[in-house]
Chains A and B, each alone.
Chain A
Amino acid sequence: MVNVLSCLLKRKVTADIPGRDEEIEALGREIRREVDAVFGGSLAIRELDTGSDNAAEIEINNLTNPHYDIERFGITFVASPRHADVLLVTGAVTHNMAAAAKKTYEAMPSPKFVVAVGDDACDGGIFAGSYAVLGGAEKVFPVDLKIPGNPPAPKEILTGLLALMNNAGKTR
């Protein structure tokens, strides 16, 4: 009984994030509008690493931290390509990942979109021509949008996703 009361009465352990980024909030509102208009309220993303240096993964992961929290805008990361609208690809495509990358793409239902995130995924980056890679993501499947960067920051990835949805909306 005492415990229940103290839970009700004690100060809540919540805090505002220091330095809320208004630019992100504005970007988020636009994304929310596009997700509602073009993708029926939710956009499901599957991330695929085909040979990155892990910096791009970290930035994509950062989109889910409280500073960005992109689920607020209707974007979710899903565990299976079968549930995904968009494939976010990072890294140059290595020979060792080529087969798995193709299978992942083929497992997605249509219509589907592919976004290359980072210089390596865009065109192979510094690895282009190396014995161990095929090149950028477009060597294994069609790419709808490229977000360059080494790696692109979370804000740039969001801007890219917004551009993807704008394009998808136009060609619908």
Chain B
Amino acid sequence: MVAEESMGKRTVRELLGLGALSGQVKEGCNGEWYLLVNETEFLPLVTSLAARECALIGLICTERFSPGAPFSLLYIFEKKGVLLVVVLDTAQSAPSIARLLPSACWSERDCRDGFGITFQGSFDERRLLLHETYPDDYHPLKKDVRNVPPIMKSSVEPSEEYPFRNVQGDGVYQIPVGPVHAGIIEPGHFRFSVIGEKIFNLEVRMFYKHRGIEKLAEGKPADEVVRIAEAVSGDESVANTVAFCNAVEKIAGMHVPDRAWALRTILMELERIGSHLGDQAGMLVDVAFPLGASQFAVIREEVFRMNDLLAGSRFLRGMVVPGGISRDIRTEDLVALGQFVRQVRKRYRTGLKIVLSTASVIDRFSPTGVVRRSILRPLNITGPTARASGANGDVRVDHPYGIYARHLPTVRVLHDGDVLSRFTVRASEILDSLDLIERLLNALPDGPVRVACDAKDGYALSLVESARGQSLCWLWIRNGVVERYKVRTASYCNWLAIEHAVQGEIVPDFPLINKSLNLSYAGTDL
């Protein structure tokens, strides 16, 4: 254990170079490293981290974190195996780093809306979370702003409307879509600039569903926040509660029983299977291949019913709690799960064979909606989307949590980056998850599934691999209650991939590309 820690420290030092700063890093509760810098050190450090191929995976603003500083900005950098949190204290403003690290763009706008921080030199100063009707100079995440509805503007002048990027030229026309869409889909706005049939530019506008998740968690004890974590994104209920509970447990420095982690892992993998099946069925609906779509939709419904049997909730809600899981799963239900896994694997393989041997499906899937590898790190694109574009990354492998270190999944990597690759990566992951569940069931540890978790004060960074990719949670508990709960799901970053993936494609392929990226609106808007 000691050797491992010093190895971690060595990796961070290497990352930081041999400068004086590397002596100042402090280890956090969950293996992450914190480094407090001043404003003169900040830009050179960030530039060097960017040059060393670190991804900026999150930017969090929080109040009264460092003594004497009104606000602290926490920049979270990731490189395989290392998580470094660069802390910059500020009274009101900070230099913008969005040109250097584009994944900072939305996050900076996020901090500006939430806390009124200004970012010097930023190229996009439009509001993000708060749409036009919110009052000016309203920053709801500040501690002195109470969590009550503000007095909204009763009308919005045309000059105050959101300015979309204006694309002009011969034959360019715009197609505005949303926020209310034609299907049973969540709300969001897509502004297409089109030439003929081809998409020249797409700008997405989100946060229609901004419902104040982060503020809602503040001042509540950890147990009460579990429901809020579940409401981040319905189909990621388990992933986001595991991220939250893992943070609580790491802060408390407690050990969660092995059986609890084994069962949590089964639930996480079931959630992944359900989510991937839904995407695959949706993609096949979008290319008008109901034969394939129905097979996957049928299996998915059965997964929901299995969830209900195991957990009493089709979305596996109410199971993951700080300290373990809320109740053990009955032996006969686990036996039923084992049988289910075996028969689903067989049926899924049959369905997959039909789909992948149908020329009309392949013709639509390939080479459609390519996500180039070069945008992955700058935008912090993760999950199956990144793995289908050549990235060998998976939180379960890069930063193992729970018992994944003992059950490392194979990272399934393809290189074409198109719809077909994303479909195929998900197919492999479904089969892998089924295998993992079976392996866990065959060697399920005995013992308790929950131990008392007395929340302690402190902060921790917790990452999990949801079905959509890297889901980040930074939690700060103070005086026994949540002081700051920051969530950044994979979708928040992955949404920007769609703006790149649709360029040069035809408008009718947009729904297919969108489905293949499987983006959660709720998980982005919070």
Contacts and interface: CB of A to CB of B under 8 A. Distances in A.
Interface stretch (B177-185, B321-329, B387-395): B177-185
A65 B184 contact: no
Given A53-B522, A130-B215, A66 B152 contact: no
Interface string A61-103: 1100111000000000101110000000001101111111001
Interface string A107-145: 000000000000000000011011111100000000000
Contacts of B149: 95, 129-134
B211 A100 contact: no
A57 interface: yes
Given A57-B185, A133-B211, A150-B317, A126 B301 contact: no
A131 to B, nearest CB: 5
Nearest to B278: A58
B297 A131 contact: no
Interface in B127-165: 130-131, 133-134, 140, 145, 147-150, 152
Nearest to A77: B184
Q: Is the interface of B mostly helix, strand, loop or mixed?
A: loop
Given A94-B208, A95-B133, A131-B215, A49 B234 contact: no
B82 interface: no
Contacts of B145: 131
Nearest to A150: B317
Interface in B244-294: 278, 281, 291, 294
Contact of B235 (A49, A54, A92, A97): A54
Interface stretch (B15-23, B168-176, B225-233): B225-233
Interface in B68-90: none
A124 B355 CA distance: 42
A129 B215 CA distance: 11
Contacts of A59: 314
A13 B317 CA distance: 36
Given A95-B134, A98-B133, A132-B140, A53 B147 contact: no
B187 A65 contact: no
A94 B278 contact: no
Interface of A: 13, 17-19, 47-62, 65-67, 77, 79-81, 91-92, 94-100, 103-104, 126-127, 129-134, 150-151, 153
